[in-house]
Amino acid sequence: MGKSIIIYGSTAGNTEFLAYTILQHLRNANRDVVIKNVIDVVPGELHQYDELILGCSTWENGSMQTDFGRLYKSMLFMSFDGKRFALFGRGRRAYGHFCQALDTLENALSERGAQEIMPSLKIDGDAAQFEHEIREWSHSVADALAEAHR
């Protein structure tokens, strides 16, 4: 049985809200998922999980949310062979570099052997307006996890 974790980095709480919404959908679909704020994660812990569901917002000029940036630096020295991942986050198109942090994470994980489960969920602005999209994305992730754990 694979183990899955949601790890989120969120400065103003927007991606955190998204993370807990996704958690609820995954649990409703009977997926056993742990959730952690990235500030409570030590890099070595990532090896305990088969599926990494990572949430990160994007800040100035497309940079990664500060707390997540710390984990990311360690990730560059790790191998993710055999692991699978899905990414989500909040951004604003108006700032440019829309949700670029997710693209940065995607490249890093792919280059280090991990396989992407689903295209990244990029939410522009208020998550409440994207309820349907968030539910659909979560259910697709849940299906992919169920498939792997069969």
Binding footprint of ligand FMN on the chain (CB under 6 A)? 10-15, 57-62, 65, 90-92, 95-99
Packed helices 66-75 and 100-111: angle between N→C axes, nearest 10 degrees: 20
Q: Smallest gap, in angstroms, from Cβ of residue 95 to ligand FMN?
A: 3
Minimum CB distance to ligand FMN, residue 129 (Å): 13
Shortest distance (Å) from residue 107 CB to ligand FMN: 16
Beta carbon nearer to ligand FMN, 102 or 145: 102
Run of H or E including 138: helix 131-149
Which CB, 63 or 115, lies closer to ligand FMN?
63
Q: Indicate the residue among 84 and 138 with the shorter CB distance to ligand FMN.
A: 138
Closest to ligand FMN by CB, 43 or 62 = 62
* Cα 136 to Cα 119: distance, rounded to the nearest angstrom: 12
CB of 96 to ligand FMN, least distance (A): 6
Give whichever of 80 and 88 is closer to ligand FMN, judged by the CB atom.
88
Residue nearest to ligand FMN (CB): 91
Write the single-letter amino acid at 61. Answer: N
Q: What is the DSSP letter of 76?
A: T
Inter-residue contact 46 to 92 (CB < 8 Å): no
Q: What are the residues whose beta carbons fall under 8 Å from the beta carbon of 80, sequence distance 6 or more? A: 46, 52, 109, 112, 113, 114
Closest CA to 120 of 88, 149, 145: 88
CB of 146 to ligand FMN, least distance (A): 28
